[in-house]
Amino acid sequence: MKPDPTLVVDAAAVATIVGEIGIGPLYDLAIERLTEVLTSAGPAPAAPPEPSPPASAEMKARDGFLLTAPRLGLLEWMPAVRHGATVSMKLVGYHPHNPVKNQLPTILSTLLAFDVDSGHLRAIVDGTFATAVRTGAASALATRMLARPGGSVLGLVGCGAQAVTQLHALARVLPLTEVLVCDSDIRAETTFAARARVPEGLVRVAERAEVEERADVLCTATSVAPAQGPVIQGTALRPWAHINAVGSDMPGKTELPVDLLRHAVVVPDHREQAVAEGECQQLRPDEIGPCLPELLNDPGRQRELRGLRTVYDSTGLALQDLVMVELLEELALDVGAGQRLVIEATAHDPQDPYGFLPESVTRACWPAEEV
Protein backbone atom coordinates (compact mmCIF):
# COMPACT_ATOMS: atom_id res chain seq x y z
CA MET A 1 0.00 0.00 0.00
CA LYS A 2 1.38 3.39 -0.99
CA PRO A 3 2.06 5.86 1.85
CA ASP A 4 -0.06 8.93 2.36
CA PRO A 5 0.97 12.08 0.51
CA THR A 6 3.38 14.36 2.37
CA LEU A 7 1.81 16.22 5.29
CA VAL A 8 2.58 19.95 5.23
CA VAL A 9 2.36 21.57 8.67
CA ASP A 10 2.55 25.24 7.81
CA ALA A 11 2.05 28.33 9.99
CA ALA A 12 -1.74 28.02 9.87
CA ALA A 13 -1.54 24.37 10.95
CA VAL A 14 0.83 25.23 13.81
CA ALA A 15 -1.61 27.92 14.94
CA THR A 16 -4.42 25.35 14.92
CA ILE A 17 -2.33 22.90 16.95
CA VAL A 18 -1.41 25.47 19.60
CA GLY A 19 -5.00 26.71 19.70
CA GLU A 20 -6.23 23.19 20.38
CA ILE A 21 -3.71 22.07 23.03
CA GLY A 22 -2.42 25.36 24.49
CA ILE A 23 1.07 26.84 24.56
CA GLY A 24 1.87 25.62 28.09
CA PRO A 25 1.01 21.97 27.40
CA LEU A 26 3.04 22.19 24.18
CA TYR A 27 6.12 23.14 26.20
CA ASP A 28 5.39 20.33 28.66
CA LEU A 29 5.24 17.83 25.81
CA ALA A 30 8.42 19.20 24.24
CA ILE A 31 10.31 18.96 27.55
CA GLU A 32 9.03 15.39 28.11
CA ARG A 33 9.95 14.21 24.60
CA LEU A 34 13.37 15.92 24.75
CA THR A 35 14.06 14.08 27.99
CA GLU A 36 13.18 10.74 26.40
CA VAL A 37 15.20 11.23 23.21
CA LEU A 38 18.30 12.77 24.83
CA THR A 39 18.35 10.07 27.50
CA SER A 40 18.32 7.38 24.80
CA ALA A 41 21.13 9.20 22.97
CA GLY A 42 23.41 9.38 25.99
CA PRO A 43 25.51 6.67 27.65
CA ALA A 44 23.73 4.17 29.86
CA PRO A 45 24.24 4.43 33.62
CA ALA A 46 27.42 2.72 34.83
CA ALA A 47 25.66 0.33 37.25
CA PRO A 48 24.70 -2.83 35.31
CA PRO A 49 27.59 -4.80 33.77
CA GLU A 50 25.50 -5.94 30.81
CA PRO A 51 26.30 -4.30 27.48
CA SER A 52 23.92 -1.43 26.76
CA PRO A 53 21.72 -1.53 23.64
CA PRO A 54 22.59 0.78 20.76
CA ALA A 55 21.24 4.31 21.04
CA SER A 56 17.70 4.56 19.70
CA ALA A 57 18.37 8.10 18.48
CA GLU A 58 21.47 9.76 17.16
CA MET A 59 22.58 12.69 15.04
CA LYS A 60 25.33 13.69 12.66
CA ALA A 61 27.41 16.84 12.97
CA ARG A 62 25.67 19.82 11.50
CA ASP A 63 27.26 21.62 8.59
CA GLY A 64 26.56 24.60 6.42
CA PHE A 65 27.71 27.82 4.87
CA LEU A 66 29.01 30.88 6.69
CA LEU A 67 27.70 33.77 4.62
CA THR A 68 29.62 37.05 4.53
CA ALA A 69 27.95 38.88 1.66
CA PRO A 70 25.94 40.97 1.47
CA ARG A 71 25.79 40.59 5.28
CA LEU A 72 26.91 38.16 7.95
CA GLY A 73 24.70 35.08 8.07
CA LEU A 74 24.64 31.32 8.40
CA LEU A 75 22.79 28.53 6.61
CA GLU A 76 23.05 25.05 8.13
CA TRP A 77 21.59 21.57 7.77
CA MET A 78 21.08 19.38 10.84
CA PRO A 79 20.39 15.61 10.40
CA ALA A 80 19.21 13.13 13.04
CA VAL A 81 17.58 9.69 13.19
CA ARG A 82 15.28 7.81 15.51
CA HIS A 83 16.08 4.25 14.50
CA GLY A 84 13.05 2.38 13.26
CA ALA A 85 10.98 5.54 12.85
CA THR A 86 12.22 8.85 11.46
CA VAL A 87 15.13 10.56 9.78
CA SER A 88 14.85 14.31 10.29
CA MET A 89 16.60 17.17 8.56
CA LYS A 90 16.46 20.82 9.50
CA LEU A 91 17.55 23.62 7.22
CA VAL A 92 18.10 26.75 9.29
CA GLY A 93 19.24 30.26 8.51
CA TYR A 94 20.69 32.73 11.01
CA HIS A 95 20.59 36.34 9.78
CA PRO A 96 20.89 38.88 12.62
CA HIS A 97 19.92 41.80 10.35
CA ASN A 98 16.53 40.21 9.51
CA PRO A 99 14.29 41.97 12.08
CA VAL A 100 15.35 45.46 10.97
CA LYS A 101 16.06 44.99 7.27
CA ASN A 102 13.63 42.26 6.21
CA GLN A 103 10.96 42.30 8.93
CA LEU A 104 11.68 38.61 9.50
CA PRO A 105 12.87 36.65 12.53
CA THR A 106 16.63 36.29 13.00
CA ILE A 107 16.23 32.50 12.70
CA LEU A 108 14.17 30.92 9.91
CA SER A 109 14.01 27.18 9.38
CA THR A 110 12.15 24.25 7.86
CA LEU A 111 11.89 20.69 9.22
CA LEU A 112 11.65 17.52 7.14
CA ALA A 113 10.65 14.06 8.37
CA PHE A 114 11.47 10.96 6.29
CA ASP A 115 10.23 7.44 6.93
CA VAL A 116 13.25 5.23 7.69
CA ASP A 117 11.76 2.13 6.04
CA SER A 118 11.02 3.70 2.67
CA GLY A 119 12.72 7.10 2.51
CA HIS A 120 9.29 8.65 1.87
CA LEU A 121 9.07 12.35 2.74
CA ARG A 122 6.43 12.03 5.43
CA ALA A 123 6.14 15.63 6.59
CA ILE A 124 7.32 19.19 5.98
CA VAL A 125 6.95 21.30 9.10
CA ASP A 126 7.56 24.98 9.84
CA GLY A 127 10.81 25.06 11.81
CA THR A 128 10.89 28.72 12.83
CA PHE A 129 8.36 28.35 15.64
CA ALA A 130 9.61 24.83 16.40
CA THR A 131 13.21 26.00 16.80
CA ALA A 132 12.23 28.73 19.23
CA VAL A 133 10.11 26.31 21.28
CA ARG A 134 12.68 23.49 21.38
CA THR A 135 15.48 25.87 22.40
CA GLY A 136 13.37 27.12 25.28
CA ALA A 137 12.36 23.58 26.21
CA ALA A 138 16.01 22.44 26.27
CA SER A 139 16.89 25.33 28.60
CA ALA A 140 13.98 24.33 30.83
CA LEU A 141 15.25 20.75 30.90
CA ALA A 142 18.77 21.89 31.84
CA THR A 143 17.39 24.32 34.42
CA ARG A 144 15.25 21.64 36.02
CA MET A 145 18.37 19.50 36.47
CA LEU A 146 20.86 22.19 37.51
CA ALA A 147 19.15 25.20 39.07
CA ARG A 148 18.69 25.65 42.79
CA PRO A 149 15.15 24.48 43.68
CA GLY A 150 12.71 27.30 44.29
CA GLY A 151 14.51 29.92 42.22
CA SER A 152 11.94 32.61 41.51
CA VAL A 153 13.83 35.49 39.85
CA LEU A 154 14.62 35.11 36.15
CA GLY A 155 17.01 37.43 34.36
CA LEU A 156 16.92 37.83 30.58
CA VAL A 157 19.78 39.52 28.73
CA GLY A 158 18.45 39.97 25.23
CA CYS A 159 14.74 40.57 24.64
CA GLY A 160 14.19 39.20 21.15
CA ALA A 161 11.99 36.32 20.00
CA GLN A 162 14.07 33.66 21.76
CA ALA A 163 13.74 35.46 25.09
CA VAL A 164 9.96 35.05 24.87
CA THR A 165 10.18 31.29 24.45
CA GLN A 166 12.89 31.01 27.10
CA LEU A 167 10.54 32.71 29.56
CA HIS A 168 7.53 30.57 28.67
CA ALA A 169 9.50 27.32 28.85
CA LEU A 170 11.18 28.20 32.15
CA ALA A 171 7.83 29.16 33.64
CA ARG A 172 6.90 25.47 33.32
CA VAL A 173 9.73 24.41 35.67
CA LEU A 174 10.30 27.44 37.95
CA PRO A 175 7.98 29.24 40.41
CA LEU A 176 8.68 32.64 38.85
CA THR A 177 7.66 35.76 40.76
CA GLU A 178 9.82 38.32 38.95
CA VAL A 179 11.44 38.61 35.51
CA LEU A 180 14.16 41.24 35.00
CA VAL A 181 15.03 42.08 31.40
CA CYS A 182 17.57 44.20 29.56
CA ASP A 183 18.63 44.70 25.96
CA SER A 184 20.81 47.14 24.05
CA ASP A 185 17.72 47.73 21.86
CA ILE A 186 15.37 49.99 23.85
CA ARG A 187 12.37 49.00 21.74
CA ALA A 188 13.00 45.30 22.45
CA GLU A 189 13.10 46.07 26.18
CA THR A 190 9.94 48.15 26.28
CA THR A 191 7.85 45.79 24.11
CA PHE A 192 8.99 42.55 25.71
CA ALA A 193 6.24 42.25 28.34
CA ALA A 194 3.56 42.73 25.67
CA ARG A 195 5.19 40.23 23.29
CA ALA A 196 5.59 37.72 26.13
CA ARG A 197 1.91 38.15 27.08
CA VAL A 198 2.68 37.80 30.79
CA PRO A 199 0.61 38.85 33.81
CA GLU A 200 0.93 42.53 34.59
CA GLY A 201 3.80 43.33 36.92
CA LEU A 202 5.78 40.13 36.35
CA VAL A 203 8.30 41.67 33.92
CA ARG A 204 10.42 44.73 34.71
CA VAL A 205 13.11 46.43 32.65
CA ALA A 206 16.26 46.75 34.76
CA GLU A 207 19.88 47.76 34.45
CA ARG A 208 22.15 44.90 33.46
CA ALA A 209 23.96 45.04 36.82
CA GLU A 210 20.70 44.46 38.69
CA VAL A 211 19.73 41.60 36.37
CA GLU A 212 23.04 39.89 37.12
CA GLU A 213 22.92 40.54 40.87
CA ARG A 214 19.37 39.32 41.51
CA ALA A 215 18.73 36.49 39.07
CA ASP A 216 18.49 32.93 40.35
CA VAL A 217 18.42 31.82 36.71
CA LEU A 218 19.86 33.96 33.93
CA CYS A 219 19.41 33.54 30.16
CA THR A 220 21.57 35.23 27.57
CA ALA A 221 19.91 35.22 24.14
CA THR A 222 21.56 37.92 22.07
CA SER A 223 22.69 38.53 18.51
CA VAL A 224 26.11 39.75 19.58
CA ALA A 225 28.57 39.61 16.69
CA PRO A 226 31.64 37.34 16.73
CA ALA A 227 34.45 38.70 18.92
CA GLN A 228 32.09 41.35 20.37
CA GLY A 229 31.17 39.51 23.60
CA PRO A 230 30.79 39.10 26.48
CA VAL A 231 27.33 40.55 27.08
CA ILE A 232 27.48 40.31 30.89
CA GLN A 233 30.26 40.96 33.42
CA GLY A 234 29.54 37.91 35.57
CA THR A 235 31.26 39.27 38.70
CA ALA A 236 28.20 39.86 40.87
CA LEU A 237 26.16 36.72 40.19
CA ARG A 238 24.59 34.81 43.04
CA PRO A 239 26.73 31.81 44.10
CA TRP A 240 23.96 29.43 43.00
CA ALA A 241 23.08 31.18 39.75
CA HIS A 242 22.32 28.95 36.79
CA ILE A 243 22.89 30.43 33.32
CA ASN A 244 21.40 29.31 30.02
CA ALA A 245 23.75 30.69 27.35
CA VAL A 246 21.67 30.51 24.19
CA GLY A 247 23.19 32.99 21.75
CA SER A 248 26.52 31.39 20.82
CA ASP A 249 26.00 29.53 17.58
CA MET A 250 28.96 30.25 15.29
CA PRO A 251 32.75 30.36 15.55
CA GLY A 252 33.98 33.42 17.44
CA LYS A 253 30.58 34.27 18.91
CA THR A 254 30.37 34.06 22.71
CA GLU A 255 28.23 35.76 25.38
CA LEU A 256 29.90 34.91 28.70
CA PRO A 257 33.26 36.04 30.17
CA VAL A 258 35.86 33.30 30.35
CA ASP A 259 36.47 33.85 34.09
CA LEU A 260 32.81 33.11 34.77
CA LEU A 261 33.01 29.91 32.72
CA ARG A 262 36.11 28.74 34.56
CA HIS A 263 34.45 29.20 37.95
CA ALA A 264 31.29 27.36 36.96
CA VAL A 265 30.35 23.85 35.86
CA VAL A 266 29.75 24.18 32.11
CA VAL A 267 27.30 21.67 30.63
CA PRO A 268 27.25 21.73 26.82
CA ASP A 269 24.36 20.29 24.84
CA HIS A 270 26.94 18.64 22.55
CA ARG A 271 30.62 18.78 23.43
CA GLU A 272 32.23 18.91 19.96
CA GLN A 273 29.67 21.37 18.67
CA ALA A 274 30.03 23.64 21.71
CA VAL A 275 33.83 23.62 21.37
CA ALA A 276 33.45 24.71 17.74
CA GLU A 277 30.83 27.40 18.14
CA GLY A 278 29.53 27.69 21.72
CA GLU A 279 30.82 29.09 24.99
CA CYS A 280 33.16 26.10 25.22
CA GLN A 281 35.27 27.74 22.50
CA GLN A 282 36.87 29.61 25.40
CA LEU A 283 37.73 26.54 27.51
CA ARG A 284 40.26 23.73 27.59
CA PRO A 285 38.80 20.22 27.35
CA ASP A 286 39.40 19.57 31.05
CA GLU A 287 37.40 22.68 31.96
CA ILE A 288 34.20 21.39 30.35
CA GLY A 289 31.66 19.45 32.42
CA PRO A 290 29.34 16.62 31.39
CA CYS A 291 27.19 17.12 28.32
CA LEU A 292 23.42 17.23 28.65
CA PRO A 293 22.68 13.58 27.64
CA GLU A 294 25.37 12.33 30.04
CA LEU A 295 23.85 14.35 32.86
CA LEU A 296 20.35 13.08 32.12
CA ASN A 297 21.63 9.55 32.71
CA ASP A 298 23.34 10.44 36.01
CA PRO A 299 20.83 11.59 38.69
CA GLY A 300 23.56 11.54 41.36
CA ARG A 301 25.63 14.05 39.41
CA GLN A 302 22.56 16.22 38.96
CA ARG A 303 22.10 16.37 42.74
CA GLU A 304 25.76 17.29 43.22
CA LEU A 305 25.56 20.20 40.80
CA ARG A 306 22.18 21.56 41.81
CA GLY A 307 22.72 24.81 43.66
CA LEU A 308 26.29 25.35 42.41
CA ARG A 309 27.05 27.93 39.75
CA THR A 310 26.31 26.24 36.45
CA VAL A 311 26.16 27.13 32.76
CA TYR A 312 24.16 25.34 30.10
CA ASP A 313 25.98 25.93 26.79
CA SER A 314 23.13 25.73 24.28
CA THR A 315 24.21 25.48 20.65
CA GLY A 316 21.14 23.61 19.36
CA LEU A 317 20.85 19.91 18.62
CA ALA A 318 19.50 18.07 15.60
CA LEU A 319 17.96 15.61 18.09
CA GLN A 320 15.90 18.48 19.49
CA ASP A 321 14.63 19.17 15.97
CA LEU A 322 13.81 15.47 15.52
CA VAL A 323 11.63 15.72 18.62
CA MET A 324 9.79 18.77 17.30
CA VAL A 325 9.14 17.50 13.78
CA GLU A 326 7.74 14.23 15.16
CA LEU A 327 5.72 16.04 17.82
CA LEU A 328 4.17 18.61 15.47
CA GLU A 329 3.46 15.94 12.86
CA GLU A 330 1.73 13.82 15.51
CA LEU A 331 -0.29 16.74 16.87
CA ALA A 332 -1.30 17.87 13.39
CA LEU A 333 -2.72 14.41 12.70
CA ASP A 334 -4.48 14.42 16.08
CA VAL A 335 -6.28 17.74 15.49
CA GLY A 336 -6.73 17.40 11.72
CA ALA A 337 -4.42 20.29 10.81
CA GLY A 338 -2.17 20.68 7.78
CA GLN A 339 -2.59 19.72 4.17
CA ARG A 340 -1.51 16.79 2.01
CA LEU A 341 0.64 17.31 -1.08
CA VAL A 342 1.87 14.75 -3.60
CA ILE A 343 5.49 15.87 -3.88
CA GLU A 344 7.31 12.71 -4.90
CA ALA A 345 6.98 11.61 -8.52
CA THR A 346 5.69 8.08 -7.98
CA ALA A 347 3.21 5.93 -9.86
CA HIS A 348 1.14 2.75 -9.52
CA ASP A 349 4.01 0.73 -11.00
CA PRO A 350 7.14 1.53 -8.92
CA GLN A 351 9.36 0.38 -11.82
CA ASP A 352 7.85 2.89 -14.25
CA PRO A 353 9.53 6.30 -13.80
CA TYR A 354 7.06 7.92 -16.23
CA GLY A 355 3.89 6.46 -14.77
CA PHE A 356 2.74 9.77 -13.29
CA LEU A 357 3.05 11.53 -16.69
CA PRO A 358 0.45 11.62 -19.47
CA GLU A 359 1.04 8.92 -22.08
CA SER A 360 1.22 11.51 -24.86
CA VAL A 361 4.13 13.26 -23.16
CA THR A 362 6.27 10.15 -22.73
CA ARG A 363 5.71 8.98 -26.30
CA ALA A 364 6.64 12.39 -27.67
CA CYS A 365 10.31 11.87 -26.76
CA TRP A 366 10.76 9.67 -29.84
CA PRO A 367 11.53 11.37 -33.16
CA ALA A 368 8.63 11.40 -35.57
CA GLU A 369 8.81 8.79 -38.31
CA GLU A 370 10.19 10.05 -41.57
CA VAL A 371 7.61 10.33 -44.30
Active site residues: 90
Residue 181 near residue 156 (C-beta atoms within 8 A): yes
Neighbours of 53 (CB within 10 A): 8
Q: 119 phi and psi, to 5 degrees?
A: 80, 0
Q: Running DSSP on this structure, what letter comes out for residue 12? A: H
Neighbours of 184 (CB within 10 A): 14
State how far the alpha carbon of 217 is from the alpha carbons of 14, 144, 204, 214, 363, in Å.
Answer: 30, 11, 15, 9, 68
Residue 70 near residue 89 (C-beta atoms within 8 A): no
Q: What is d(CA 103, CA 191) in angstroms, rounded to the nearest whole number?
A: 16
- In 276-306, which positions are buried (b, 16+ CB within 10 angstroms) versus exposed (e)? ebbbbbbbeeeebbbbbbbbbbbeebeeebb
Which burial class, exposed, middle or buried, applies to 8 when counting CB atoms under 10 A from its CB (0-12, 13-18, 19+)? middle
Q: Whole-angstrom distance between the N-terminal and C-terminal Cα of the chain? A: 46
* Alpha-carbon dihedral angle through residues 352, 358, 360, 365, given to the nearest 10 degrees: -50
* Cα angle for residues 180, 183, 188 (degrees, 5° grid): 95
State how far the alpha carbon of 226 is from the alpha carbons of 72, 73, 253, 261, 274, in Å.
Answer: 10, 11, 4, 18, 15
Helix (H, G, I), strand (E, B) or coil at 359: helix
